[in-house]
Structure 1
C-alpha cells in the first residue's frame, strides 16, 4: 500500500521543486548571458588590437628596405601584451615580425586561403584556448602588403567562467536548502490550526459531539473549515436526536399493542379461556392490536424503502387518479368531498401509485380531523411549473407551535387522542418522502378552529 506524505512534507517538496526549477532557469540564464558577454568582450578587445596593428603597420615601416624586419619588430613591441601573440606575415609567407611568446611558437605559417582571410575563430593550441584573428594590412592605395595574425588567450575568461559556475552551483544549493527549511516552517505554521482541528476531532465520536472547534471571525480557509465542520456537527447532532426520538417513539408504538396483546394473553391463560365472553373479547382485542402492529410495520418498511426506490418515467393523468381517490373516500367515510379540476386532464410525471398514496394520506388526515358536516375539498391544477394538488378541510386546525413538526415521523399534535384516531404519525412523513422523490414540495397552512390546507407541488420534468 502506497504511503502518502503529510501535507507539511508535500508543501516542503513542492517549495523545493519550485525553487529548484526557478534556480536552474536563473542559473542557466546567468551562465550563458555572462559567458557570452565575457567572450564577446574578449573577442572585441583582441579584434580591436589586431585591427590597430593592421591599420598602423604600413605607415610606420618602410617596405622593401634591408632592415624592414628589424623596424617591424621594434615598432610591434609597443603593442606587447602577455595574453596575446602577434605575427606579421609577408606576402611571400615569411614571418616579418613576432610579438609575445608566452605560449610558445603558435602556428602562423598557414596557407592563407580565401576562406581564412579576415576571419575570427576560436582554437585550442598547446592546451590553451585562443581567439585567432587573421587580418590584411593594406597600404594607402588599398594594396595588401602583409597579414597580421594574432592569438589572444581566453584562459582568463575561462577561469572566470569556471569560478562563476562554482558560485552559481553553491548559490543554487544554498537556495534549495533555504527553500526546503522555509517551506517546512511555513507549512508548519500554516497547518497548525488544522493540526489542532484534527486533535480535537480525535476526542469526538458519534455519541459525544457537543464540543465545537474554535474559529475567529476571519474569512480565511481555516476559519471556513472550522465553521463548516461545526455546522456539520450541528447537523449530525440533530440527526442523532431525531434518530433517538424515532427509536423511542417506535418503541413506544410497538410497546402499546404488545402490552395489550400480552395482557389479554395472560388473561386467557389464567381464567379467561373458560369464559366465552372474555375469550371472544380477548381474541378481538388481540386481532385489533395485531392489525395495528402490521400497519405500523408496513409504514416503517415503506419509509425505509422510499430511500432506494427507482423512479420510472410513466406519466399519469392526475385528474383521473385524484378523482378516483376522492370518490373512494366519499363512499367509505360517507363524506361530501368536493373535487375541483378545470382541465380535461392534468398530466404529471409522478407515478400513479405514488400520487394515489399521497392523495389518500392527505384525505385521511382531513377526514380524521373533521366531523360530519365540516367541508373537505380537493383541487388539482395544472401550472406552468407542474402539478398543484391542494387538500383543504374546515376542521379543528393545527396550533402554530405544531406546524413545523407535522411532517416528522411519529409526531402527533394531540398525543392524548392518538389511540382514538388510530394513527401513528407516519402518514405525512411518508407523503413528504414520496413528494421529495420528484423534487417536489409539500406545505401546510393552518389556523386553529378554521381549518387546514395541504399543498403539494410536483415540478414538470
Structure 2
C-alpha cells in the first residue's frame, strides 16, 4: 500500500507543468460546458412543458366557455373557437357518452381522472407489446367538468408527448456529442495555450543551461505583452547582468591585486639577490637593500590591509555599527594629526561647524585620512591643504582643497575604480596603491552620502563630501 502511495506521489511530481495546465484547463472547460448543457437541456424541457400546460389550460377554458354559452357541441367547435394548436379534444356527457372527438388516434384516458389538474398518462405502445423492452406513449392532459342548465359535460384536452420526447432525446445526444467534442478541443487548445504561456520559462531554462562561469553572454529575448513572464525574463537578464558584472569585477580585482603584489615581491627578490652577491662585504649595499626591503614590506602590508578591507566591505555591506558622534571633533582631530606628521605643507582648518552625524566614527576618520593623505602625496612641498566643514540643510559638507598637481579631465571618471592610477609611475613613487579613493567612495556610499571631485591638471584638487546629519 505504501509503495503504491509513493508511486502515486512520484507520478504527480513527474507530470510536466504544461500537462498539468492542460488537464486543469480541460477539466474546468468540461465542467463549464457540462453545466451549460444541463441547464440548456432541462431549461428547454421545462419551458416547453410550461408552454404546453398554458396552451392546454387556454383551450380547456375556451371550450368550457363555449359550452356554457349553450352552443352546440359538434365538429364545428374547432372552427368556431379558431383553435390552431395541435391538441386532441374530447367532450363527454355525464353518462360517459362521447359527444365530440377531433382525432381518431387520441389515447384513451378516463374522463373523470384528476379533474382540474394537469396530468401525464403513460400508455403501453401496442406494436411493441411482445418485445422484452417496454415502450410507453406519454400524454399530457387536463379533464374539466362543465355544468350548463343542470347538465354536466366533461372536457378532455390532451397532447401526446412522443414527438417532443424524441426531440429532447436528439437534443441530449447532440449535447453529449458536443461535450465530448468540447473536451477534445479543450485538451488541444489547453495544450497549445499552456505551451505558449510556458515558452518564456523554457527559454529561461535553455539560457540557464547554456550559462557557465566562463560564458555569461547568453540572454533571453523579451518579446510579447508586458506580463509576469516577460517581467520574469527581464529579471533573469538583469540578474545575469549583475552576476556578469560582479564576476568581471572579481576577475579584474584578482588580476590587479596579483599585479600590484608582483612588483614589490620582484623588488624584494632583486635586493635579496643583491645582498647574496655583495651585501656580505659591502656595507653600503647592505644598508640600501635593507631600507628598500623595509619600504616595500610596508607598501605590501598597506596594500594587503586595503585588499582585506575591500574584501570585507564587499561581503559585509552593513557590517559596521552606526552611532551618533560629533563630526566637528573628529575633523579637528584629523587636522591636528596631519599638522603633526606633515611639516612640508600649510594645513588650514577654515571652518568647522558643530554638527552630529550617525555613522561609524572609525570609518569616517579613515575617509578623512585617505583624502588628506592623497593631498599630501600629490601636493608639492610648500603647498597648501585646507579643510572646510559646513552644515547645509540636512547635510554636512566637508571640502578638502589642495594646490597639488591636479587630475586630468579624462581621468576624473575613473579615479574611484580599484587600482586606477592617473599617473602610474608617480603614484608608485609616492607609495600609492590605487585603492584609497575606492575605499573612500565605499565609506561615503555606506553612509548614504555623496563624494565629488573637482580638479584641473597642475591647478590643484577639490574633494567635496556630503553626509546626512542627525
TM over 0.5: yes
Residues of 2 paired with 1:456 and 1:25: CA distance?
A: 72
Point out 4+ residue stretches in structure 1 off by more than 6 angstroms.
74-83, 100-104, 123-126, 189-194, 211-216, 218-232
Compared CA separation, residues 158 and 111, structure 1 to 2 (3 A): closer
- What's the counterpart of residue 346 of structure 1? 355
Residue 451 in structure 1 maps to residue 460 in structure 2: yes
Map residues 411-426 of structure 1 onto 2, 5 A cutoff. Answer: 411-426=420-435
- Does residue 320 of structure 1 match 2:310? no
Cα 1:35–1:414 shift into 2, 3 Å: same
Q: What displacement does 1:230 show?
A: 6.5
Tell me the distance in 1 between the aligned counterparts of 2:366 and 2:122.
Answer: 99
Q: How far 1:250 sits from its partner (Å)?
A: 0.3
Instruction: State which of 286, 289, 307 in structure 1 corresponds to 2:293.
Output: 286
8 Å contact 1:88–1:97 — kept in the other structure?
A: yes
| Corresponding residue SS for 1:419 | helix
TM (norm. structure 2) is: 0.77
SS in 2 for 1:418: helix
Question: 1:29-428 to 2 correspondence within 5 Å?
Answer: 29-59=39-69, 84=88, 86=90, 88=92, 90=94, 95-97=96-98, 105-106=108-109, 108-110=111-113, 118-120=116-118, 129-139=138-148, 145-185=152-192, 199=206, 202-210=209-217, 237-269=244-276, 272-273=279-280, 278-307=285-314, 308=316, 309-334=318-343, 335-341=345-351, 343=353, 345-428=354-437
Measured after TM superposition, the shift of residue 106 of structure 1 is 4.1
- What is the CA–CA distance in structure 2 between the aligned matches of 1:125 and 1:435, rounded to whole Å? 100
DSSP 3-state at the match of 2:417: coil
Q: For the aligned residues, what is the CA RMSD?
A: 4.1
Equivalent of residue 33 in structure 2, options 15, 23, 46: 23
Residues 219 and 180 of structure 1, relative CA distance in 2, 3 Å threshold: closer
Contact 2:323–2:359 (8 Å) recurs in 1: yes
Q: Which residue number corresponds to residue 132 of structure 2?
A: none
Q: CA deviation at 1:172?
A: 2.6
Q: Which moved more, 1:411-420 or 1:435-444?
A: 435-444
Normalising by structure 1, what TM-score? Answer: 0.78
For residues 12-68 of structure 1, what are the alpha-carbon distances to aligned partners after superposition, in whole Å with 9 as ceiling and x for unaligned? 446535543553453344334322322122222322332233233345678xxxxxx
DSSP-derived class of the 1:389 partner: strand
Q: Structure 2: how far apart are the matches of 1:122 and 1:454?
A: 103
For structure 2, list consecutive stretches of 5 or more residues without a partner in the other structure: 1-9, 125-135
CA shift for structure 1 position 402: 0.9
Taking a change above 3 Å as real, the CA distance of residues 378 and 219 of structure 1, as seen in their structure-2 partners, is farther
Q: 1:429: Cα distance to partner?
A: 0.8
Conservation of the 8 A alpha-carbon contact between 1:445 and 1:452: yes
Worse overlay, 312-321 or 203-212: 203-212
Greater shift in the superposed pair: 430-439 or 32-41: 32-41
